[in-house]
Structure 1
Amino acid sequence: MSDCGCDKARKDLEEYLRNEVCKTEHSDITEHLENCPACRDEALVATTLTAVIARACKETAPEQLRDQVLARLRSEQATHH
């Protein structure tokens, strides 16, 4: 296999991390990341950011805050109907 280069690796990084590239491209990018610290660091940042966002999306608002938001929405809907 040949190294795909930084431009190709960075261009397709998001798709690569989501396993949305073909098997050949996946292998080429994997090989590139193994040999390129800068691209590997960029992949680590993207992976970490994705994990942090996923965790944040699983959190729920405190019940009191949810109640306040829902009460405000109901109030706004009542005044506009």
Structure 2
Amino acid sequence: MSVADTIRAKLTDRFSPLQLEVIDESESHHGHSGWREGGETHFRVRIATRNFDGLSRVAQHRAVMDALDAELKDSVHALAIEVLPAA
């Protein structure tokens, strides 16, 4: 399973999102710190979920980072998180 697929599965299991995008932005970071041949090092996550209702932005981001703790410690160098309105 690719890192993107793992991220998608973990966030889906944890948050039952109404919308979820996992975007591999690794190629635009070619030559930067943490970049590896083959990509899957720099990601952007766009997520909308009712599970974040009432949480601060910091708490929302911490929840995503907690769900992806193993990936952030191992294979993911950078993660941008965009929490979208759960409409």
Q: Give 1 or 2: higher strand fraction.
A: 2
RCO higher in 1 or 2 (8 Å CA, sep ≥ 6)? 2
Larger Rg belongs to? 1
Q: Give TM class, smaller chain.
A: under 0.3
TM score, norm. by length of structure 2: 0.22
TM-score (norm 1): 0.23
